[in-house]
A = this chain, B = another copy of it.
Amino acid sequence: MTGDSRRFAKRETIFAPGEADGDLPKLISGAVILYTLFEDGRRQVLDLAGPGDFLHFDLEGAVDHYAEALMPSEVAYIPGPALLQDTDGAAFMVEQMRDRLAIERRHLTLLSYKSAMDRLEAFVKLAADCLGHDGARVDLPLTRQQIADFTGLTLETVSRTFAQWERDAVLTKIEGQTYLMGAALAA
């Protein structure tokens, strides 16, 4: 079930729309952001992927989004058609897709919130679940712009809200991109 694998540097593009060759890219380690690009240059982040997640499920058709490494990452390429031949493999793939669907729906729910704070609270929790966290410690290897593109806000609003949270000790920057979630967020 393991196939070829490749390593990607931070900020490197793993694939772009239109590329698909029957192999399914599965993230072994690192973190990846999936997004689409509009004509006007705006980006919409579709998903975050952590170790174990598939980056797309297109066996043959054209993928319609970009994948970019948020940190040094390793990607394995699983032969898709072979996976489907096997009953256990098919069940595994269905389970993976169901998990993705559930994540997308949490993302949908996030975007339905009308206030910036509600959205960002949901974002931090979702990112923690997608990318992994150590208790109340979370890594957010995203730029403010990427967080904005994930939450449907502007980078300024994201910046202001995080600043407010730091003042209120809801979220504390430990160092770099690692934060400590306060009681209000840890739930």
- Which residues of A are interface residues toward B (Cβ below 8 A)? 36, 44, 46, 57-59, 64-65, 84-85, 87, 90-91, 93-94, 97-98, 100-102, 104-105, 107-109, 111-114, 149, 152
Can you report 10 A-B residue pairs in the complex whose CB atoms are below 8 A from each other? Answer: A46-B105, A57-B98, A58-B98, A84-B91, A84-B94, A90-B93, A97-B97, A97-B101, A108-B108, A113-B152
What distance in Å separates the Cβ of A126 from its nearest Cβ neighbour in chain B?
A: 13
Q: Is the CB of A108 within 8 A of B107?
A: yes
User: Copy number of this protein in the oligomer?
Assistant: 2
Q: From residue A114, how far is it (CB to closest CB) to chain B in Å? A: 7
Chain B nearest CB: distance from A50 CB in Å?
18
Q: Are A114 and B57 in contact (CB under 8 A)?
A: no
- Min C-beta distance of A42 to chain B, whole Å: 8
Would you list the 5 A-B pairs with minimal beta carbon distance, nearest first? A90-B90, A111-B111, A112-B152, A97-B97, A104-B104
